Structure 1
Amino acid sequence: MDKQLEPLAHSPDRAAQRLGISTRAVYTHLATGELRSFKDGKRRLIPDTELQGFVTRKMAEAANS
């Protein structure tokens, strides 16, 4: 029962994989403020909760259009 822990924050590359979009699209969403991130040293990290919120917001937009 040794469960692998999922990270709480992801690199832009890993965030892109989790969202199923390109890394370039992740950087575009970061630049427009649709996704928020933080830096830890030189690494940019995107919290998992931010990815989940992004998907929720996109689903709400799709439902309203």
Structure 2
Amino acid sequence: MPTNLPAEARAKLAEYSAARTLEEKIEKLEEAIGLIPDHKGTEKLRRQLRRRLAELRRELEERRQRRSGG
């Protein structure tokens, strides 16, 4: 089933791909997820993006803990 994403969502996904820092990637991915319509055709895409967002947040938390020595 096609996702039929709006142009804004496609642009945010492109910005996410171009982002360099973890914080920037998380921010752009959150914005993209918010712009993707919630319907049957986008279920898999939304699930994949939310999973990736969770991984990025976990990685950021691990980096912060390592940096602080805890």
TM-score normalised by the chain length of structure 2: 0.31
Rg (Cα) greater in structure: 2
TM-score normalised by the chain length of structure 1: 0.33
Higher helix share: 2
Higher strand share: 1
